[in-house]
Amino acid sequence: MAEVQKKLKVVVSLDLGPEVMPLLYNQPNLDVVVWPHESASGKEWLLKNIAGADGCIIMLFEKIDAEVFDAAGPNLKVVSTMSVGYDHVDLKELAKRGIKLGNTPDILSDSVADSSVMLALMAGRNTKQATNVVEKGEWPGWGWSPYGLCGPQMSPNSPQDIRTVGFIGFGRIAQATLARMIGFGYTRCVYVARSKDPARAKEIEQTIKARHPTLTTVQRVELDQLARESDVLYILAPGGPETYHIVNETFLKQMKKTAVLVNNARGTLVDSDALAKALKEGWLWGAGVDVVEGEPNVTVDHPLVKEPRCVMIPHIGSATWESRIGMGTIAVQNLLAGLAGIPLVAEVQV
């Protein structure tokens, strides 16, 4: 009698939609367990359902730690996160158990770069206050006034007006954002990055300058210089202990009063209280944040929500159909490759 092959159990912590789920459902050897609601499944559901799983697809707001790995048991071969960031996964525990980790880089670089520039423009041009005026029906009374709701212009005002774009983190998303800023007329770029290797910095400088001949400067700098020189500062680096509160009071105090700061990475990189204080006291002009420490528990009392010069959106930096369907597809491909024991499409080296 032919032996019946045991199905592999995979757990998907959020339904990935009609474009992506069939890629899993059409696999005859899989037993797919999926949280069927639009909201987060919660750890309790994950701990219960992951028992005996061979692989899982998880979201960036789920902490994947020893407790989850223990609940899964020894079959777990692959964790696939539908995100480029993976600071929510305990890499030590993962490596200890020889589990593979897949993520979804590249596909979201353009959508996150687009939303980064959007946040810079919104923060610089007082969009929060401006839309409030209209929504509260105050347009007629407020009228048009010569300097009403003015802010710093993002584009340089003349060829002599040399502007600098700064980056914390200088990976694919930052470089896609830089390309957009060059379109606005920026000619100087400064950044801080994890690598301190001068040869690597030289190589980056040469590559970026060859790609964008109008750039006069591409320079890796120290944090203080970055704070002092950036007209627009983009935070696009990974979260985790290495970058925790890299933007704090000391940093913010050094920024230009007309500068705009954008955080489209992880909330933990910015000390929210310090940023709220900085905005209140005018150390910089404005901030646009897609992420905030403690999210999603952000209420209307949050100091940054209350700040008129802070535009906050709820972690939707990559929320385009193109990116999200692409991310879901890569997440499934990573999972299937991990189950098959072949190299993942995008594997995090741990």
Residues near ligand DGY (CB under 6 A): 60, 83-85, 108, 112, 317-318
Q: Which residues pair with 175 in a beta bridge?
A: none
3 state DSSP class of 347: strand
Smallest Cα–Cα separation from 78: which of 339, 332, 328? 339
Question: Would you say 41 or 116 has its CB closer to ligand DGY?
Answer: 116
Element (H, E) at 119: helix 109-124
Smallest gap, in angstroms, from Cβ of residue 108 to ligand DGY? 6
Question: Would you say 41 or 111 has its CB closer to ligand DGY?
Answer: 111
Question: Would you say 259 or 269 has its CB closer to ligand DGY?
Answer: 269
Smallest gap, in angstroms, from Cβ of residue 84 to ligand DGY? 4
Active site residues: 266, 295, 315
Q: How many CB atoms lie within 10 A of CB 169?
A: 21
| CB neighbour burial string for 305-340, b if at least 16 within 10 angstroms, e if fewer | bebebbbbbebebbebeebbbbbbbbbbbbbbbbbe
Adjacency order of strands within the sheet including 286-289? 217-220, 188-192, 164-168, 232-235, 260-263, 286-289, 310-312
Smallest gap, in angstroms, from Cβ of residue 238 to ligand DGY? 9
Smallest gap, in angstroms, from Cβ of residue 8 to ligand DGY? 26
Structural contact between residues 255 and 285, judged by C-beta atoms closer than 8 angstroms: no
- DSSP annotation of 18 reads T
Question: Would you say 25 or 61 has its CB closer to ligand DGY?
Answer: 61
